Chains A and B, each alone.
Chain A
């Protein structure tokens, strides 16, 4: 019976990973390999638990078992605590997995009155014409003031502090926020 309890608790409790014990290697599968406290995990993936707020902190580490199920190994509190080499590897992986360009400048923004919003904007991935459908759900400011945009293809963009943009861009955006 005790055995049951123990396994239960492992599933139940938050396991914060010791950053000094983590050793990732990048694979050509698009995933990572991990050695942690003597265990080897293959096909490991990193997931931001709060992708809107914490970009470097609270990163869930999970691996795919033989039955193709994702099993969480634990959570990294802050990847900045890792060694430089390991940190860069994780940061690069996260950047690869989360492709969310930043909108830096808004040229024009138009509501077609049929549920679509068309934004012509400069982003960190170049100039884009972003078409947002159902835009009052896919173009939103969250509680911390960050504007997140998901276009009709599923591409994501964000503006962390809209009010800090240049005045012209902000004035255009503000009407739709």
Chain B
């Protein structure tokens, strides 16, 4: 990363120099900060030195984020207070963060690194931030959507080519007809004594051609149906595949409603377009080319007249497309908003009902629907204004041709037959042209949908499986080596965590709400990759394993229990689809849910309803525990797995679990600290750092964070008791 920006004249060169653009009063400015191993200098926009600081008087440096801007600061040694250096927009943040790292390293170790090994964070061509990706979104040339759709047709190359050839052939038959007509008129009808034999031959040929045309039409139609169906099936499959592959990070950027809409609706729009227009597209392109050639051969002057307005029309059509594109994309966004809203409301229908806000929600939905229809109306309006214009421009050609053609017949420059033949060709030309004038509208709509589909397909997969996976049966040793992580860059949740968990240990993670406990297990499950440092299982970096190899040997009960809409049995068996029924019962027994399941009228075949809402919170949690232990995992992760249970049920499960967790690594999170009483070791997190580690007794002796947590819980429990007795 380049940390040496060229300085204007008057400012002495330095090892590091970076621009800053916000003054202390929040106004914009254009100053510079320079640093070497002795000093930091601050210059204003005129190159005057505003301030300078000695590096040695600071014990730490950091770049902290504000809102829409950031600042560079150092911690003074003498009074431990922060000293502000300069403030800058986010555009400069990454470079300052890197500089802060280098200065901080110097403050900590006395070693001054005079360059950065980090990769350049911006596109070299346009300067746009790359955001960790390898291609620049601004400069990257993507193939046009149409081209990419064509590429996806590759697997259907053979039937596609056959279909084109057949279409071309059947079309050729149609084309011969006008020529035959000309002979009919010029050589049979208009001559004194008509040749009946010739008449019959010509008439017969016309009839035959029509029959052949119909037959071929039938065959191509069938082939085309197969192609479009296969094409759409593949597209849908790939879209769904991709949504499964996407990391938690990308998937949580989008709402479920939006993804549903993309996978189902967008592919349907494309399907409709392909079905309705696929064949026409081929047919009309062939016919346009063929007709134009024929017209030129038979009378190039008249042909020229017909063709004359076409370039203008094409230009106009492309303009119309552009205008429609943005509007269609707006319409698309509005419909997504509507399906997102629907999905959100329906998933939260219990909240809606319990707050009695049905009417308010209905009003909001009406509002959203109005927006959709407004966007649609806008497209319609534009189209109905522009399309007649397009048609008119094209029609000018016909008008010219008729005018000059008719004059030519009068002047006996061409025969009447020739003229009729020509006008027939022209009228054939208007079929495809008419279709073409309508094309911008449907094409634009389909291309927006296709573009959205490709957007998903193009999404970078952040958590790639290793190319040469080092999968092997897991024993269950987990090591954290200087792991730092944040959901957004430079906003760390976990800071420099190092620890070792041995096979078979039971570890409890404790700490205040929001401290990063669930985040830690998200990392172990590799739902995210650490920002720096590495996590290893049995000495193998998680990044060198496949997701399947890892998850097959983990059993997880998440903080938010989620059950799929299916039966109890299906939900338990989810973790091990080939489990025998007896194994499932055994797991259910261990999780203490067998009894309540037995009491349900439909037993193990009871439907749990959407999200498992037909069960109580505690029942859901127990089913989730059964699901986790069924697969006999080497690593068992329990995030507040027993939080919704009463203490007695918890005790029961705990005893059962104790038997079960022998020999497996267990990581449990619980706010009720008694739950973790039999953990081998407890990890205490505070402000993203690992502050204490040890057994309950050890930590109690320490009188540290854990001690305070325990004491706080005892006091609240005491207060509760008092309030009850009072």
Contact = CB atoms under 8 A, between A and B. Distances in A.
Interface in A80-133: 92, 94-101, 111-116, 118, 124-126, 131, 133
Q: Closest 4 CB pairs between A and B?
A: A95-B26, A30-B84, A99-B69, A154-B90
Interface stretch (B326-334, B586-594, B634-642): B326-334
Interface stretch (B137-145, B350-358, B617-625): B137-145
Given A113-B455, A131-B128, A28 B84 contact: yes
A23 interface: no
Dominant secondary structure at the A interface: loop
Interface of B: 21-22, 24-28, 65-69, 71, 73, 81-84, 87, 89-91, 93, 128-129, 131, 137-138, 140, 142, 145, 253, 326-327, 329-330, 333, 336, 451, 454-455, 458, 687, 715, 719, 722
A115 B68 contact: no
A11 B26 CA distance: 32
Given A114-B458, A116-B138, A131-B137, A99 B22 contact: yes
A47 to B, nearest CB: 9
Contact of B326 (A27, A111, A151): A111
B66 A97 contact: yes
A120 to B, nearest CB: 12
A151 B73 CA distance: 24
A174 B223 CA distance: 44
Contacts, number: 115
B67 A156 contact: yes
Given A69-B687, A99-B66, A175-B326, 6 more contacts: A30-B82, A95-B25, A96-B66, A115-B455, A131-B129, A155-B91
A176 interface: yes
B129 A43 contact: no
Nearest to B451: A113
A153 interface: yes
Contacts of B66: 96-99
B239 to A, nearest CB: 15
Nearest to A97: B66
A1 interface: yes
A92 B67 contact: no
A6 interface: no
Contacts of B65: 154
A116 B137 CA distance: 7
Contact of B26 (A28, A96, A116, A156): A96
Q: Decide if the interface of chain B is mainly helix, strand, loop or mixed.
A: mixed
A137 interface: yes
Interface in A42-65: 42-43, 51
A68 interface: yes
Contacts of A125: 21, 28, 89
Contacts of B67: 51, 97-100, 156
Contacts of B131: 133, 152
21 contacts: A27-B81, A30-B71, A30-B73, A31-B82, A43-B81, A51-B67, A92-B25, A99-B26, A99-B67, A99-B87, A101-B28, A113-B451, A114-B140, A126-B28, A134-B253, A153-B91, A154-B65, A154-B90, A155-B69, A155-B90, A176-B330
A145 to B, nearest CB: 14
Contacts of A29: 73, 81-84
A52 B26 CA distance: 18
B129 A112 contact: no
B128 A155 contact: no
A152 B26 contact: no
B83 A136 contact: no
Contact of A92 (B26, B71, B84): B26
A175 B26 contact: no
Contact of B128 (A4, A28, A92, A152): A152
A76 to B, nearest CB: 18
Interface string A64-82: 0000110000000000000
Given A100-B67, A116-B138, A125-B89, A68 B687 contact: yes
A112 B138 contact: yes
Nearest to B80: A66
B68 A155 contact: yes
Nearest to A30: B84
A136 B336 contact: yes
Contacts of B27: 95
B89 A155 contact: yes
A175 B329 CA distance: 9
Contact of B68 (A31, A100, A112, A176): A100
Contacts of A155: 68-69, 89-91
A134 B24 CA distance: 32
Given A30-B73, A131-B138, A137 B253 contact: yes
B188 to A, nearest CB: 58
Given A29-B73, A99-B22, A99-B26, A133 B137 contact: yes
A96 B87 contact: yes
A153 B81 contact: no
Contacts of B330: 175-176
A125 B20 CA distance: 13
Contacts of B140: 114
A26 to B, nearest CB: 9
A86 B131 CA distance: 40
Nearest to B488: A154
A112 B458 CA distance: 13
A28 B83 contact: yes
A154 B73 CA distance: 19
B77 to A, nearest CB: 14
Contacts of B21: 125
A96 B327 contact: no
A100 B89 CA distance: 10
Interface in A133-175: 133-134, 136-137, 151-156, 175
A118 B140 CA distance: 14
Contacts of B93: 153-154
Nearest to A158: B68
Contacts of A113: 142, 145, 329, 451, 455
A59 B671 CA distance: 33
